[in-house]
Structure 1
């Protein structure tokens, strides 16, 4: 019996995800007639209707949706097979997909990734940002190869390697700290607070720090970007708690003052990767560079 064509399955997945033949064609860098041909061939082979038009959008039939789930797993398995075989070559070429929180993505990873890219021009690195639960889920699903995230996480399918400790600091509008040497939960609660949005591990750590001080946090703003938080504080709209990474450089402190917390609060950034993930040479290079960041930070303290 003739097997299903993996390329046709990939096309079906794209059509369903994009809800459009034309957008799927653009995403796959194919012509729209070729996309339509792939879907028709699948439907002819299976004698089933896999997609249907609803207005201007395309959606999966029940059979099409079930096949798309299998198609995604097949696609990931093929990608893993290809990655596994790269271990038998000397080539540093290849694509590595990593995830990270926005703060690490902006203030930690760029210099390291730049050095890695200059040393290995054929290496392709794609970085996605998101909250820890979202990024960890994508690593588990194998749509990301690995990630640098904030602990804690709970997953039996992942290897977790702590990389570095990142203390939190308080930030205030320029001139508002009035010579204070540190900030407590009580003193900070007297000001309007601009904090990370709920759902992030970073926010959960901040909430616990306030609870340990006998307080429930009530921010006036909740934002998903460390850069947006700094801008709001610089505009005298409140005070905040941020990972020190976000204000480590002088250029990152425009319009704000930075103070240590009492008691101390910190987060741990960890490298997470599936236990069964084949370590291609490109992925090995990225992993080695990320783990070296932690070694360098520990040597500097």
Structure 2
């Protein structure tokens, strides 16, 4: 039955039998047969089929969270048995917000996968709220987030402090000197789009500096911000993790307003009462021992 439920969940997520078959390395007739067996077992249709996609029926929507929970419990049970004999195997699904997922997590996973090659790792990158939702519906085993989130069924614990950096293109007139609030207020700034968590943090930094930008440009990604600063459009504020390579190679320079520092917490997000497999435990041990941001450059 577990195999049938895995097929059911995969079809529900892919909304297509052929894509589900590809994801599970099965034939499409095998997928159809297992879904038919489930529908016979429960005595109701689980999907409405069209020529292009499939959609859950009301019965399918009711079954989906239970199916995910059963698959999760099955995976946890296997992990617990593996733990008894000291094996680190199974699956590890990590949810991460953008700075962590794109700039920190790859460095951690490079070491983790060498140490534990039998663990199948997958990563979901999304905002903090989405990561919280994925934790609650058992779609991820662990979350690493930048933003603020409060929920009675989620636990947040500190991971590390993330240094926010004010930076400019190489050769900028303010580079290498103690800049003043007045000088910074005459500069244009490149920020993420309104509503972005990264933009909120950047605006908090500007408030702390007492800076009212002369002009603000909005960009839809961290990479586009870095490219715009390198091209001389203005200054920007990002996590030091995001620009560590550019600082190393000298294409961007960090500005140092007198006495200025600003950090935000990066946190581990878990479901309350969730059993940790050995794969999760080893990952958390490794990520908590990871170098802090001021060693990243």
TM-score range with shorter-chain normalisation? 0.7 to 0.9
Q: How many angstroms apart in 2 are the aligned matches of 1:252 and 1:200?
A: 27
1:292 aligns with 2:270: no
Instruction: Indicate conservation of the 8 Å contact 2:185/2:211, yes or no.
Output: no
Q: How many angstroms apart in 2 are the aligned matches of 1:95 and 1:186?
A: 53
Q: How many angstroms apart in 1 are the aligned matches of 2:235 and 2:77?
A: 50
Q: How many angstroms apart in 1 are the aligned matches of 2:162 and 2:46?
A: 49
Question: 2:151 is matched with which residue?
Answer: 155
1:243 aligns with 2:207: no
For residues 30-80 of structure 1, what are the alpha-carbon distances to aligned partners after superposition, in whole Å with 9 as ceiling and x for unaligned?
111111111222222333222223342222222222222332232233233
Question: 1:135 is matched with which residue?
Answer: 131
1:79 aligns with 2:75: yes
CA apart distance, 1:238: 2.9
The structure 2 residue matched to 1:173, chosen from 169, 174, 189, is 169
Q: How many angstroms apart in 1 are the aligned matches of 2:254 and 2:294?
A: 22
Instruction: Indicate conservation of the 8 Å contact 1:131/1:200, yes or no.
Output: no
Q: Secondary structure of the residue that 1:108 maps to in structure 2?
A: helix
Q: How many angstroms apart in 2 are the aligned matches of 1:71 and 1:149?
A: 27
| Paired positions, count | 294
Runs of 4+ that moved beyond 6 A? 296-300
Q: How many angstroms apart in 1 are the aligned matches of 2:49 and 2:182?
A: 58
Instruction: Indicate conservation of the 8 Å contact 1:173/1:233, yes or no.
Output: yes
The answer to which of 170-179 and 237-246 deviates more is: 170-179
The structure 1 residue matched to 2:44, chosen from 34, 45, 48, is 48
Question: 2:120 is matched with which residue?
Answer: 124
Pick closer, same or farther for the CA change 1:172–1:86 going to 2, 3 Å.
same
Pick closer, same or farther for the CA change 1:201–1:250 going to 2, 3 Å.
closer
Question: 2:227 is matched with which residue?
Answer: 231
Q: How many angstroms apart in 2 are the aligned matches of 1:72 and 1:218?
A: 48
Instruction: Indicate conservation of the 8 Å contact 1:98/1:145, yes or no.
Output: yes
Q: How many angstroms apart in 2 are the aligned matches of 1:176 and 1:297?
A: 24
Question: 2:203 is matched with which residue?
Answer: 207
CA apart distance, 1:277: 2.1
CA apart distance, 1:182: 4.8
Q: How many angstroms apart in 2 are the aligned matches of 1:121 and 1:16?
A: 29
1:35 aligns with 2:31: yes
Pick closer, same or farther for the CA change 1:248–1:182 going to 2, 3 Å.
farther
Q: How many angstroms apart in 2 are the aligned matches of 1:164 and 1:111?
A: 15
Q: Secondary structure of the residue that 2:44 maps to in structure 1?
A: coil
Structure 1, gaps ≥5 residues long: none
Instruction: Indicate conservation of the 8 Å contact 2:153/2:272, yes or no.
Output: yes
